[in-house]
Amino acid sequence: MKKTQPVEKNQEYNVTIADLSYQGLGVAKIDNFPIFIENALPGEEIKVQITKVKHSFAFGRVTSFITTSPDRVQLVDKAYTQTGIATLQHLTYSAQLKFKQHQVAVDFQKLGLDDVEVNPTIGMDDPTHYRNKAQVPVRLINGRLETGFYRKHSHDLIPIEDFYIQDQKIDEAILVVRDLLRTFHVAPYNEEHHKGVVRNIMVRRGYYSHEMMIVLVTRAKKIPHTDEIVAGILAKLPEVKSIIQNVNSAKTNALMGPVNNVLAGSNVITDTLLGLKFAISATSFYQINPVQTEKLYQLAIDKADLQKDDVVVDAYCGIGTISLAVAQHVKKVYGVEIVDQAVEDAKHNAKINNIRNVSFVASKAEEQMSKWQSDGLKPDVVFVDPPRKGLDSTLIDSVAAMNPKKVVYVSCNPATLARDVQLFAGKGYHINQPVQPVDQFPQTIHVESVTVLER
């Protein structure tokens, strides 16, 4: 069969970039055949070299710019693009916010939901150094233990010292731990042979409390020179309140293993969010951008228009962040979460904040919602903050059967949000106010948003 693609691998072409894909790649077309190109912006004329040709699209790389976009800014470091740490670093921040608003709108339009209005994205004053958690691989490169991040779509480590979007105190902590591991000749993990000691270093830091947790994720059960390494960390990093060894001895891509050993200090650190205190363990899910999380959750609470006598359900409650923030405005909150440890944390967080009108259950959200529904629970408002895959259709069925006045949907993936909104529409729930995107992950393609569905 004759080849129909209008481009060939390794050939160069002059193209104009028409759009940005949801992955932040420039999109050009030759005879209506799309070419996806890194570090290219709408309106730019470029020379592109084709690097890969698929059946219905191709990938290319910029060899030279003929014209550049007024929205282009100088790359801070090309490693941030190569690793995907900051895929939008070449785009002005105001243009990043517009890109995210557009992404949310496009995903609704794809499903024919053209009447959904999307507000401008709420951004940050300083869209760098915002992450309160880092998880970096430890590998041997040219005979030396290094920390950094993987090149996209590979397990090749690029050594990085300043991560640009992480709290700078976290970057410093990673280097202190890296240097101690080098000093005591601790073997980094070798993926190919499943040998070596340390796989990853995880660091968490409270935005308000400045309490720091260091987690050494190891393949081996024992770390050589543990006492000296712990003493070195505590001497150089006075903010450290918790040092933990997480043992992950399986041959797996999962970051953490099932066993946590406290090497020094406490098994949790604390921080505050919307004026409430939270204990955060090594495995807790806790939003990574504290400044924007407060905006996101406050927005969700405001849009819910809660009343004193309301009963609320928080599906995917995690360690209780939304549940506890909502509890002070309503009569009762029921939270459900699949991770047992998170539910223990949520109960502990309710206790330390002296909040008694909450009840947490460890279960799959869709199963628990169905159980609550058959038990006759009638919430006034349901909050959902699901993972990227969105909501299970059975959960949507259960929510609709409970007949709440409002469903407040906090989403981290506009594509699954749009799909779920369409499913809710079939149950009589509609959007009556604009969707509000919030830039939780500046310099990256990801966007959070708050959507309110009403009967």
Both tokens assigned to 36 = 């996806």
Secondary structure (3-state) at 244? strand
Which residue numbers are catalytic?
412
Nearest to 117 by CA among 128, 105, 127, 107: 105
- Determine contact, residues 403/84, Cβ cutoff 8 Å: no
For tokens 């994720």, the residue is 217
Whole-angstrom distance, CA of residue 244 vs CA of residue 263? 5
Letter for the amino acid at 108?
F
Whole-angstrom distance, CA of residue 84 vs CA of residue 88? 9
Secondary structure (3-state) at 377? coil
Whole-angstrom distance, CA of residue 339 vs CA of residue 325? 20
Whole-angstrom distance, CA of residue 228 vs CA of residue 183? 10
Secondary structure (3-state) at 282? coil
Whole-angstrom distance, CA of residue 75 vs CA of residue 39? 9
Whole-angstrom distance, CA of residue 367 vs CA of residue 394? 8
Which residues partner with 90 through β-bridges?
Answer: none
